[in-house]
Amino acid sequence: MQAWYAKVIGGIPGKRARESSPGWIDCDDIPGVNLSFSQGKTELAPTKGRSLDHIGFEVKSLDAFAKKLDAEGIKLDAPIRQIPNSKTKVAFLTDPWGTYIELTEGLAPATN
C-alpha cells in the first residue's frame, strides 16, 4: 500500500513513530498529509458509502494525471467531469484496497 501511494500519488515513503505502541510505522508524506499504513486485524472493506466515504487529492493538471494513471494501467471510476459554473474538474478512482479517492483540479485556492 505504501509503494502504491508513493508511485501513484507521489508520496515520499518513510517511517514515523507509532502512537498506540512503541515502534515505527510505514508512511508516505504527501504535501499537507501523512498517510500511515499498518497491518489490519480484520478483512478490508471498501470505503465508498461508509462513514469515511473517500479521501481526496488536488492535482495540478487532472487531464495529464489521468493519462499517467492510464499508462500505468490504473483506470478512473468515471470520466473526468467539470463542475458546473466553476473552474473545478473532478474524477474518482479506487485504490487496490478499496479506498475511494477523489482527484480535483482547481478546488484548492491558488497560492502565490
Q: Supply the DSSP string of the chain, one letter for each residue.
A: -HHHHHHHH--EEEEEE-SSSSSEEEEEEETTEEEEE---SS-----TTSSS--EEEE-S-HHHHHHHHHHTTPPPSS--EEPTTSS-EEEEEE-TTS-EEEEEES-SPP--
pTM of the model: 0.81
What's the mean pLDDT in 32-52? 81
pLDDT digits (tens, 9 = 90+) for 45-87: 788 887 778 899 999 999 999 999 999 999 999 999 999 988 9
